[in-house]
Amino acid sequence: MSELEQIPVSLSYWQDVRKRFFGNKISIVGLVMLVLLIAVGIIGPFISGWKYDDLGPDILVGPGSKGHWFGTDDLGRDIFTRVTFGIRLSLTVAIVVTTISVFVGVTLGGLAGYFGGWIDTLISRFIDTWQVIPFVLIGFAIITVFGSSFWVIVAALVFTGWYSTTRLFRASVMQVKSLEYVEAARASGATTKRIILRHIGPNAIPPIIVVLAFSVAGAILSESIYAFLGVGFREPTPSLGVMISSSRNFLTDKPFVFFIPGSILVLLTLSIVLIGDGLRDALDPKLRGVK
């Protein structure tokens, strides 16, 4: 392959990406699932006829009975309404957390990956330090002291998420940097700015898009794990993790209280993972032309 073909800034590259993405059945399934879930999250609360903290008289009634599509929980609250709010909450938290984490990751990872040397050592060892501390513990420390409000939880999730995006972006910049054509450009006397903008940047964008998708899924999972362990959102906030956690006692005789929020959480993360997967296949220039 010639050097020119490897610089993916051309229109044809993105057309190609689109074609590849929409040609992938699995990622289309993911996209449709996500769109449906978002639609339910937006419209659901308006059509359910209940509020998420309304305590009805019917406790633990099954799906479909007494005007509750998904049944009620142990306080008589409408599970459908709570689940729709849960989708909204999960996505909001995940998008906020991902935006911040990716911003931090691109900056630090880019610096470390491109310049190498002591900057890389410093940033990498800093990452190592954070990474060896179990993320659950950082969450526990922050949330037991500062309480479990929205922004504290976001902060805890960013503190535990920034380094993986940084690490991935650093690795991807290093990989691109060591490609022959970049080395060739450097050898031919191109300026740093030109190398970053023209050669490394465009090639490092696809990984960011993929990381973005996986970070959103990761943040949704982490948020629910915190809630499950008792350090994330709390009642009556309708977080999917909170709902699953409090369903544990009813697993034997009212399993729907677990299965409904559980499967919504799984479908939500799964749809995003599938999209991310499709994006990765579609964006990876090295896979072009290989079938």
Binding site for other proteins (CB under 8 A): 26, 53-55, 59, 74-76, 116-117, 120-121, 125, 128-138, 140-145, 147-148, 164, 178, 217, 221, 224-225, 228-231, 234-236, 244-245, 247-253, 255, 258, 262, 265-274, 277, 286, 290
Our CB check for other proteins shows the closer of 43 and 129 to be: 129
Q: Are 52 and 45 in contact (CB under 8 A)?
A: yes
Our CB check for other proteins shows the closer of 10 and 180 to be: 180
Our CB check for other proteins shows the closer of 5 and 128 to be: 128
> Please, what is the minimum distance in Å from the beta carbon of residue 93 to other proteins?
14
Q: Are 241 and 233 in contact (CB under 8 A)?
A: yes
Q: Could you tell me the CA-to-CA distances from 214 to 60, 165, 169, 187 in Å, in that order?
A: 35, 10, 13, 36
> Please, what is the minimum distance in Å from the beta carbon of residue 197 to other proteins?
23
Give the span between the Cα atoms of 39 and 17, in whole angstroms.
26
Amino acid at site 255: P
Q: Could you tell me the CA-to-CA distances from 140 to 24, 122, 202, 211 in Å, in that order?
A: 40, 26, 39, 26
> Please, what is the minimum distance in Å from the beta carbon of residue 269 to other proteins?
4
> Please, what is the minimum distance in Å from the beta carbon of residue 240 to other proteins?
9
Give the span between the Cα atoms of 182 and 159, in whole angstroms.
33
Give the span between the Cα atoms of 118 and 97, in whole angstroms.
29
> Please, what is the minimum distance in Å from the beta carbon of residue 11 to other proteins?
25
Our CB check for other proteins shows the closer of 16 and 277 to be: 277
Q: SS3 for 72?
A: strand
Give the span between the Cα atoms of 176 and 103, in whole angstroms.
20
Our CB check for other proteins shows the closer of 45 and 218 to be: 218
> Please, what is the minimum distance in Å from the beta carbon of residue 245 to other proteins?
8
Our CB check for other proteins shows the closer of 16 and 58 to be: 58
